[in-house]
Amino acid sequence: MNEYNTDETVIDVEHLYKSFGDNRVLNDINFSLRKGENLVVLGKSGAGKSVLIRCIVRLNWPDSGIIKVFGINILEVVEYELNKIRRKIGYLFQGGALYDSMTLKENLLFPLKRGMKNYPESEYDNLVDEVLESVGLLDVKDKVPSELSGGMKKRAGLARTLVLKPEIILYDEPTSGLDPFTSEDISELIVSIKEKFNNSSIIVTHDMKCAKKTADRILVMEHGKFISEGNYNDLKSTKWMI
Amino acid sequence: MLQDSINNFFIEVAKITHFTIQTIANLFKRPFELEEFIKQSYRSGYKTLPLITITALIMGLVLTIQTRPVLVKLGAEAWLPGMVFISVIREMGPVITALIFAGKVGSGIGAEINSMRVTEQIDAMEVSGTYPIKYLVSTRVLATTLMLPILVIYADFIALFGSYIGFTLRSNISFISFFNQAFSDIDFIDIIPAVIKTFFFGFGIGIVSCYKGYFLNKGTEGVGIAANSAVVISSLVIFIIDLIVVQITDLIV
């Protein structure tokens, strides 16, 4: 799976710190995401994994540090510039975060109409159908989120992310709350998306099977720090992975 | 302790001012969220009609029944339609309709937006590069600002009809005569400030409800708190705006 170009980085994080009150959640985080790479951030609940990717899209403001996305420090740009960068980043939320007043198709059209203004309007339906087909949800496109199962919601969230053709995808616990079979499906989907769209990804998870299936490289996180780095085979016999 | 409370108060004022400016600025940015605005207008206007109808009818009826004995004692029963109508148009109609509106629409907006915050739907809008304030807040605030005045004018007429029913329980008068009598005592100066203040009521209800829903982040417990504080603070805002408008009108007239 190591087909990424190691010279080109799409995300650079340097000396990142973040606290909530007295609780330091991120403590001197440094890493890079290379183009075409699937990077897994593995750690227990509360380790600071989700806060890290929330900082990358500026949903949380770090206390200090540098976050460069495509070479631009996103902590220094105005909202308009930030939104241009955000449109190149897909984000899969833990619960899917689907808009519950809209059908699945409308969920995909919402960012499409507002985020891809240069895309011909007549092609919207085709693109939505194409993306829904790629995640196996074409036949339920007129259903609202409350009519979908947990696994379907994750797939739908992923479809909404893919519709903007992102260059980077951030997955926040993509397999949490799912049964082992559906988790396996989602992990396979993450791999197939990378093969199909050739995007870079950060996958935040505590699921070893998901990490094994999807990772080109793994960063192990504990108490807001990276404590180990390598691929699955390097790390599988360490105490962090047992 | 007191110092903290004062600081928090001014921080909150600054935040709501910034939020209001953003909301107004987003109203003029293209593309306009027309579809969402129409949907919100339908929800806050049309869906509130039955409640407003019942309340206004009872308001006119009760006001007439309660006022009548006093006017009869003074031999001024003929003043009743005009007096009730002036009370309704100037004060009772706008304030009571706005309070009902805050209870129904304000709480709904607060709860809906906050549940979107809790389930990360607002975050999802942000990370996809869209503007949640433009889509969620500006449309709702514009809808409440424009729908409340329409509802108040409607409520005024329903209250007048209720007053007519109350009047005919003891006296015999045609609907046309009652209407003519009521309108003969009304001037534009009674109507204009009363209508203008309802725009501010609607705007206040919209802003407060959206603000409470948008920023409170206390999980599912927060949804209830957002709905509750949307109603309580909106009601307070209605009375404060009313007080200011009454003072201004008093100075002008």
Are both A113 and A184 inside the same structural domain? Answer: no
What is chain A's mean pLDDT, rounded?
A: 90
Maximum Cα interatomic distance, chain B, rounded to a whole number of Å: 70
Is B171's pLDDT higher than 90?
A: no
Q: Which of residues 111-170 of B touch A (CB under 8 A)?
A: 116, 119-121, 123-131
Are both A83 and A171 inside the same structural domain? Answer: yes
What is the domain range of residue A112? 104-160
What's the rounded mean pLDDT across residues B29-43? Answer: 93
Would strands A38-43 and A23-35 be described as parallel, antiparallel, or unpaired?
unpaired
Q: Which residue would you say has higher pLDDT here, B185 or A91?
A: A91
What's the rounded mean pLDDT across residues B161-185? Answer: 90
The interface predicted TM-score (ipTM) is 0.90
A21, part of any domain: yes
A45, part of any domain: yes
Are both A151 and A176 inside the same structural domain? Answer: no
- Contact at CB, B126 and A59, closer than 8 angstroms: yes
Q: Which of A65-69, A120-124, B4-8, B144-148 has the lowest mean pLDDT?
A: A120-124
* Cβ neighbours around A29 below 10 Å, total: 25
Residue pairs between chains A and B whose CB atoms are closer than 8 Å: 56
Is A242's pLDDT higher than 60?
A: no
A141, part of any domain: yes
Are both A119 and A54 inside the same structural domain? Answer: no
- Contact at CB, A97 and B119, closer than 8 angstroms: yes
A50, part of any domain: yes
Number of domains in chain A: 2
Are both A83 and A177 inside the same structural domain? Answer: yes
Q: pTM higher than 0.80, yes or no?
A: yes
**Which of A54, A77, A83 is the best residue to mutate to test the B interface, defined by the most B CB atoms within 10 Å of its own CB?**
A83
A96, part of any domain: no
* pLDDT tens, position by position, B189-198: 889 999 999 9
- The residue with tokens 């949640």 is B132
pLDDT computed for residue A1 by the predictor:
45
* Residue B182 distance to chain A (closest CA, Å): 46
Report the CATH number that the domain containing residue A14 is assigned in CATH.
3.40.50.300
pLDDT computed for residue A119 by the predictor:
78
* pLDDT tens, position by position, B118-140: 999 999 999 988 899 999 999 99
Choose one of A123, A141, A160: the last residue of a domain. Answer: A160
* pLDDT tens, position by position, A180-217: 888 998 999 999 999 888 899 999 999 989 999 999 99
Are both A130 and A149 inside the same structural domain? Answer: yes
Chain A residues within 8 A (CB-CB) of chain B? Answer: 57, 59, 83-84, 86-87, 89, 91, 93-95, 97-100, 110-111, 114-115, 157, 160, 164
Residues paired with A35 in a beta bridge: A5
Are both A196 and A216 inside the same structural domain? Answer: yes
* Residue A116 distance to chain B (closest CA, Å): 10
